[in-house]
Amino acid sequence: MQVKVDKLDIAGQSWKEFTLSNTQGMEVSLLNYGGIITKIMTPNKNNEFENVILSYANYEDYLDNPNFFGALIGRVAGRIEASSFQLDGKTYNLPSNEGEHHLHGGSVGFHKVLWQADTFEEAESVGVTLTHRSQDGEAGYPGNLVMKVTYTLTNENAFSITYEAVADQKTVLTPTNHSYFNLSGNLKTDILQHDITMEASRFVELDHELIPTGKILPVEGTVFDFRRGHAIIDGVHSVDQQNLVALNGYDHYFLFDHNKKENVVVTEQTSGRKLTVQTDQPGIVMYTSNGLDDTLELREGKSAKYLGVCLETQSSPASLEHEDFPSIILEKDAPYKTTTSFTFSTK
């Protein structure tokens, strides 16, 4: 197991790309800029290693990165309605970057930070720990926040992300990672035939601007019911109003039942690849890249609608407006810690 480090000069900035590799041949590459994951190389059923995430052909494109490819998201993943929230009677105004709303930490969120990076190599794992001191008022959020994110790869082909933080005053926090997975390998096909199994009996209703209405709906009898597994394409062809507001697909928060150790399982039949997601987070946003077009130059070709699926484990920013949603409030001096792991195998 080892960590390889490459130095990059991007628009006058000194970036580093770290490549984690294990004894099975799996590799994960990531940048200290934005904590962006640029490549995940995993084997198919014939033991052929291919990239299973969307990434830019030119690293300069990560400077803008409006689709958040591979990025570390924060302080708050998801949409904050009208770019403001109240905490203990005080209103905090945030920069708007999606209409009048604040999305994924804003235009200067964690995905635009040049993180301090420290590597480690152990007997059964290797990784990188990223650290950022987010100042009080950064992107409008209250409190000085010390954020630490650790990426770890094991010999069992498990790639985990651990988020740790502490703030010197009450604030809000729910970071995530925004990688777009495509298990076909090297973007050979779209993700419409990817099969999803998810332990979630409820999901959050969205309005036409993708803002939660406050209603939590049962999945029973809808194409949002993944408890026994089905293909993503079922939601694309659906006439359910919730699929239509998401531009014919999914961009919804699912609340986990936590009945099983495996929260989400994704499989792709042709490659034989299987991705298992395990997390201690209360839910996940599954986004099926409904808003992607064909204008971006990716590592293996042009971008396209339905080319990747994001699996964003997190709490819910809707909790700032509505009751009965998983809270994103972090109390002063309270330790924050959560881990999500992505384990790759073949059927």
Instruction: Summarize pLDDT for 276-309 with one digit per residue, the tens.
Output: 999 999 999 999 999 999 999 999 999 999 999 9
State the average pLDDT over residues 167-181.
98
Domain housing 244? 2-346
Residue 237 has pLDDT above 80, yes or no: yes
Contacts of 289 (CB under 8 A, 6+ apart): 54, 67, 180, 191, 249, 305, 306, 307, 308, 309, 310
Q: For all residues of the chain together, what is the average pLDDT?
A: 97
Cβ-contact 250, 219 below 8 angstroms? no
Among this protein's residues, is 312 annotated catalytic? yes
Among candidate residues 101, 102, 104, 178, the one labeled active-site is 178
In sign, the C-alpha dihedral spanning 159, 310, 144, 329 is negative
Six token digits for residue 51:
């990239």
Residue 202 has pLDDT above 90, yes or no: yes
| CA–CA distance, 10 with 15 (Å, rounded to integer) | 7
Among this protein's residues, is 209 annotated catalytic? no
Among candidate residues 138, 199, 268, 312, the one labeled active-site is 312
30 in helix, strand or coil? strand
Give residue-wise pLDDT tens across range 43-80.
999 999 999 999 999 999 999 999 999 999 999 999 99
Q: How far apart are the first and last CA of the chain?
A: 24
> Which CATH number does the domain housing residue 200 bear?
2.70.98.10
Residue 259 has pLDDT above 80, yes or no: no
pLDDT at position 261 is 81
User: What is the pTM for the complete model shown?
Assistant: 0.97
* Structural domain total, the chain: 1
Which of 93, 181, 192, 109 lies closest to 145 in space, CA to CA? 109
**What Å distances lie between residue 113 and 84, 107, 116, CA to CA?**
22, 11, 9
Residue 209 has pLDDT above 80, yes or no: yes
**Which of 220-224, 259-263, 307-311 shows the lowest per-residue confidence on average (mean pLDDT)?**
259-263
Cβ-contact 253, 198 below 8 angstroms? no
Residue 28 has pLDDT above 90, yes or no: yes
Give residue-wise pLDDT tens across range 83-95.
999 999 999 999 9
pLDDT at position 262 is 87
Pick left, alpha or beta for residue 32 (phi over 0 → left; psi -120 to 50 → alpha; otherwise beta): alpha
Count of CB atoms within 10 A of residue 121's CB? 11
Contacts of 139 (CB under 8 A, 6+ apart): 75, 94, 95, 105, 106, 108, 109
Using a pLDDT cut of 70, give the percent of the chain over it.
Answer: 100
pLDDT at position 233 is 98
Six token digits for residue 188:
């050979």
